[in-house]
Structure 1
Amino acid sequence: MYQLLNDLSIVEVSSFVASPTAGLYCAQMGAEVIRVDHKAGGLDYDRYMLTKEGRSLSWENLNRAKKSVALDLRSGEGRELCVALAANTGQCITNLPEKSFLSHAAMKVAQPDGAPDMTSVRIMGWHDGRQAMDFTVNAASGYPLMTGPEEWDLQTAPPVNQVLPAWDFITGAYCAFALLAALRHRDGGGAGSEVRVPLGDVAIGTTANAGLMAEMLYRGSDRERLGNAIWGAFGRDFRSKDGVRFMVAALTSKQWHGLVEAFDVAEPIGELEANVGVKFSDGDDPRFKHRHALFDIFQNVASGLDYKTLEARMGAKGCTFEKYRTAHEAANDPALVGGNPMFGPSPANPSGFEYPAARSFANIPEQTPADPAPAPYLGQHSEEVLAERLGLSSGAIGKLVDAGTLALSDKDR
């Protein structure tokens, strides 16, 4: 954690992945992020995987370094308190519908004198109001029908979904950026604003930014499946003599020459160049067009060498490569996790389970990052936040607790 945003407070009313991710990234940079949930937990509070005690490891990691307020969001009074918290704070991240009780207009109307002009970021499904989630917008993006073995037919073979909710995480990161952009505008003398970010637009907009949309319109047809090959360049998975699968990529001249030297294939590469009339050092185009013949040359060498030998050769030549790992292997890898300064010691997690926790992905050499902070228990900061943000007395807070409108920490649930 860094303290770059320690003068910023944000109310987050959200669930699942995209919206909590936006708040998480702000919290990891020092912002005070107050997550408000229904008193029994939001829709993602029990999301898999659960520990034997029933604590969600997903929720725990997406809500690190945040504060938690638990309100009865099904009651009028609980909703009014939620709106008041957001209005007094002046900044809000949410994925609740615009027509819900937490509309931008409702927050703006509830702002007291002296509060910063209301600025909110709202994650939506599609731009036209339809609901969406990562796996449904991914289906619309076209990517699942480009994924799979090369021999699969585009029209009859099934789609292959990615297991990483990538659009959610991209949307969360974009929303953190959009919020800070809106705040910079406001703090520079402009007005506050509502920023709406449809998850579906993030997906289809990303395909456009990647050039995929233009490619489809230009070629007038779909791209063929490539298996594990890289589109438009040289790269694929290979298998060593001892059965280790690894990925290589050569998108630059240096990477390509390093790979040729590491595999000691200059002679067969030269013979292939003479046969097909190209120079593979000329760039991506000839390497991609003749990828199958090149793949055979490299795989022939890989089949005769153990991975440790190949790893040493590729490392010495500055190649770009990586061994495939299972997720369990990655979590236990000394280079990825154990020796990676991005990970810090396990904080006191609500789950009680100790494991390395991620700091901010950004590294600021001039600053020493703090150790990762734990996620809160649901409702852990209810009393503190209502007292500080709304000026409620302990007696008033006690009445809210007695009435079931406000819940305190569920540590001993």
Structure 2
Amino acid sequence: MSADGRSAAQPLAGIRVVEIASFVAAPLAGMTLRQLGAEVIRVDPLGGAADHHRWPLSADGESIYWTGLNKGKRSVAADLRAPAAQQLITRLITEGPAGGILLTNTAGRAWLDYDTLVRLRPDLIRVEILGRADGSTAVDYTVNAAIGFPLVTGPADHAEPVNQVLPAWDLLCGMYSALAIAAAVRHRDATGEGSRITLPLEDVALATAGNLGFLTEAMLCAAPRPRLGNAIYGQYGQHFHGADGTTFMVVALTPRHFRELADLTGTGKAVEALATALDADFTDEGTRYHHRDVLTGLFAPWFRERPGATIAAALARTSILWERYRTFHEVATDPRVTANPLFTPLRQPGVGTYLAPGAPASVNGEHTPSAPAPRLGADTATVLRELGLSPAAVTELLEAGVVATEI
């Protein structure tokens, strides 16, 4: 904490972000900004946006997904088609020294356009997440299909595309959006200028595929990238099964890792003989990758003959990179969660009490803990009063169905 009361962990304290969005990318961006100290007010239509009841659900029917991505925010619910509600939300976006920041993925609403809002707030920061740069729609699943990853994911002999469970493009897009807003705030503080920012989900995926070399490889090399199952392209890595059904991922990135793996499995002499027979230099990572199948055949028996506990104990005594495959249920009860200061007990109404993650980065040795997600519309009346509306005016709006609270 500095002399003026500012916290290094909350550098965005004093700014207000209005989030009008749904699903993953924008809500994640908003929650990230909240963890960095910003006040984030999520505005939803009456009854909630399309993601309000998205699975998984708690026993009480509350969306575990929704509460997970909206922790610590304030919630306003309004009839977004009503002119009176649009005027109030416009004021919420544009008024006040802390305001002037909109995060949205809602297209086609003229009253939320940059050109409309900037006339009221010249230093407006508006971040709009699009599906594609041309304005057409797309979601993580369709973007993923279009980029190429499902056709290099899965077993080597599998003919069908394999989607990834992790919504990688949504997550990256959310982080890029939060970074864009933080950078725009810095620019506004320095120059007084706002920013009009668009971030297409597909461009996030395309940029990532380019940065990682997937697209460059396709531009320069005729041969397509093969499916590898659980192997690692250009390196030696493979999964192995233990005698008791446990499965391990083992990665040998360096010559030392590889040498220790051969020593551990008692295959050192066999590996040397193989190197001689193939005229292969296994200190080279590309060579280890090209001969991965025959090397795996040498190492696999050692794993198959031992239970998981024995394998884990033996691997732990080496520098080899490894981990046992675990279920989410196993991870949730593991000390890496239960004894991790990243996680603190959180009582979420409608969901229960559980260990919730705060901000992953620790600042000066501490993580910013999570706060519960709001009930839909829980802050509507308070936020309207903060805009200067009288209690009578707020009551009139509630009775007219323009806004709602505690839905």
Fold shared, TM-score > 0.5 on shorter chain: yes
Q: Take 1:208 and 1:193, find their aligned partners in 2: how far apart are those partners?
A: 26
Partner-residue secondary structure (3-state), 1:3 = coil
2:190 aligned partner: 188
2:400 aligned partner: 403
TM-superposed CA distance for 1:235, in Å, is 0.3
TM-superposed CA distance for 1:100, in Å, is 4.1
- Cα distance change of structure 1 residues 3 and 367 upon mapping to structure 2, 3 Å threshold: farther
Q: Take 1:258 and 1:178, find their aligned partners in 2: how far apart are those partners?
A: 44
Structure-to-structure mapping, 1:11-160, within 5 angstroms: 11-88=18-95, 89-97=99-107, 99-111=109-121, 117-152=123-158, 157-160=159-162
1:359 aligned partner: 358
Moved over 3 A (4+): 367-371
Q: TM-score, normalised by structure 1?
A: 0.92
1:317 aligned partner: 318
Q: Take 1:122 and 1:344, find their aligned partners in 2: how far apart are those partners?
A: 32
Structure-to-structure mapping, 1:221-240, within 5 angstroms: 221-240=223-242
Match for 1:75: what amino acid? Answer: A
Which stretch of the first structure deviates more once superposed, 315-324 or 252-261?
A: 252-261
Match for 2:156: what amino acid? Answer: E
Is 1:342 paired with 2:342?
yes
TM-superposed CA distance for 1:109, in Å, is 2.0
- Cα distance change of structure 1 residues 280 and 100 upon mapping to structure 2, 3 Å threshold: farther
TM-superposed CA distance for 1:260, in Å, is 2.9
Q: Take 2:263 and 2:185, find their aligned partners in 1: how far apart are those partners?
A: 52
The size of the alignment, in residue pairs, is: 397
Measured against aligned partners, the alpha-carbon deviations of 1:315-351 in whole angstroms (never above 9, x if no partner) come to: 111221111112222222233x1122211112x3122
CA contact (8 A) 1:94 1:121 kept: yes
- Cα distance change of structure 1 residues 308 and 52 upon mapping to structure 2, 3 Å threshold: closer
Superposition RMSD in Å: 1.7
Q: Take 1:254 and 1:5, find their aligned partners in 2: how far apart are those partners?
A: 44
Match for 2:255: what amino acid? Answer: S
Of 237, 245, 248, 1:246 maps to 248
- Cα distance change of structure 1 residues 405 and 99 upon mapping to structure 2, 3 Å threshold: closer
Q: Take 2:46 and 2:311, find their aligned partners in 1: how far apart are those partners?
A: 55
- Cα distance change of structure 1 residues 258 and 101 upon mapping to structure 2, 3 Å threshold: farther
Match for 1:345: what amino acid? Answer: P
Is 1:369 paired with 2:376?
no
2:262 aligned partner: 260
- Cα distance change of structure 1 residues 219 and 369 upon mapping to structure 2, 3 Å threshold: closer
TM-superposed CA distance for 1:99, in Å, is 4.8
Unaligned runs of 5+ in 2: 1-6
- Cα distance change of structure 1 residues 249 and 82 upon mapping to structure 2, 3 Å threshold: same
Partner-residue secondary structure (3-state), 2:111 = coil
Q: Take 2:262 and 2:74, find their aligned partners in 1: how far apart are those partners?
A: 53
Match for 1:203: what amino acid? Answer: A
Measured against aligned partners, the alpha-carbon deviations of 1:30-85 in whole angstroms (never above 9, x if no partner) come to: 21111111121111111111223221110001000101111111212112222221
1:299 aligned partner: 300
TM-superposed CA distance for 1:265, in Å, is 2.6
Partner-residue secondary structure (3-state), 2:348 = coil
- Percent of residue pairs bearing the same amino acid type: 40
Q: Take 2:180 and 2:278, find their aligned partners in 1: how far apart are those partners?
A: 50
CA contact (8 A) 1:92 1:119 kept: yes
Match for 2:107: what amino acid? Answer: P
1:209 aligned partner: 211
CA contact (8 A) 2:58 2:351 kept: no
Q: TM-score, normalised by structure 2?
A: 0.94
Q: Take 2:142 and 2:110, find their aligned partners in 1: how far apart are those partners?
A: 23
2:3 aligned partner: none
CA contact (8 A) 2:240 2:300 kept: yes
TM-superposed CA distance for 1:370, in Å, is 4.5
TM-superposed CA distance for 1:408, in Å, is 1.1
- Cα distance change of structure 1 residues 370 and 172 upon mapping to structure 2, 3 Å threshold: closer
Partner-residue secondary structure (3-state), 2:176 = helix
Q: Take 2:223 and 2:91, find their aligned partners in 1: how far apart are those partners?
A: 52
Q: Take 1:171 and 1:215, find their aligned partners in 2: how far apart are those partners?
A: 23
Match for 1:149: what amino acid? Answer: P
